[in-house]
Amino acid sequence: MPYEFYKVLHLLAILVLFTAMGGLAMVTLRGGSEQEMKAARKPLMILHGVALLVIFVAGFGLMAKLGMMKSGWPTWIFGKLAVWLVLGGAMALLKRPMGVAWYLLLPLVGAVGAWLAVYKPF
Ligand code: HEM
């Protein structure tokens, strides 16, 4: 697969990830019985999990296309892995009413991921 394919896939999965996080924040804010909340959360948790996996696989596809598997990993890749982990854990936060306030900060975490890929600061 070409570099461009992995890039579009990487970006598509990031969009889906944020859609799932927004959905969960809305479910938490709406409230309801435990059974209703569970049913509403399930598809969003699945969407979030699949998006995380695709971001990871496409990210490594991009690295392979850029020759990083042979030349070694630049330091900014570790920063991206940290961003990926934080966004992976964000759903646990968004399940709690107090955690929803963090929802507004999550795009900034995503922006750090974009900044690392664009500026490659280290
Ligand atoms: C497993 C974690 C990740 C890996 C290994 C990874 C790796 C990469 C690589 C190798 C590139 C290509 C850089 C280039 O073309 O020079 C890239 C691009 C990009 N990544 Fe990731 N990434 C990861 C997670 C993320 C996350 C969590 C975000 C933000 C939410 C993100 C946002 C972006 C963006 C916006 C680009 C495009 C930058 C551009 O077009 O120049 N990445 N990523």
16 Cα–ligand 1 center, Å: 15
- This prediction's pTM: 0.94
Are the beta carbons of 24 and 41 closer than 8 angstroms? yes
Residues 48/87, Cβ–Cβ less than 8 Å: no
Q: Which of 99, 113, 106, 114 is nearest to 19 (CA)?
A: 106
What distance in Å separates the CA atoms of residue 65 and residue 56, rounded to the nearest whole number?
Answer: 14
Per-residue pLDDT, 63? 97
Could you list the pLDDT tens digit for every one of the 122 residues in the chain? 999 999 999 999 999 999 999 999 999 999 999 999 999 999 999 999 999 999 999 999 999 999 999 999 999 999 999 999 999 999 999 999 888 888 889 999 999 999 999 999 99
Domains: count for the chain: 1
Domain holding 11, by residue range, is 3-119
Confirm or reject: Cβ of 81 under 6 Å from ligand 1. Answer: yes
Q: What angle do CA 10, 7, 79 make, to 5 degrees?
A: 60
**Any ligand 1 atom below 6 A from CB of 62:** yes
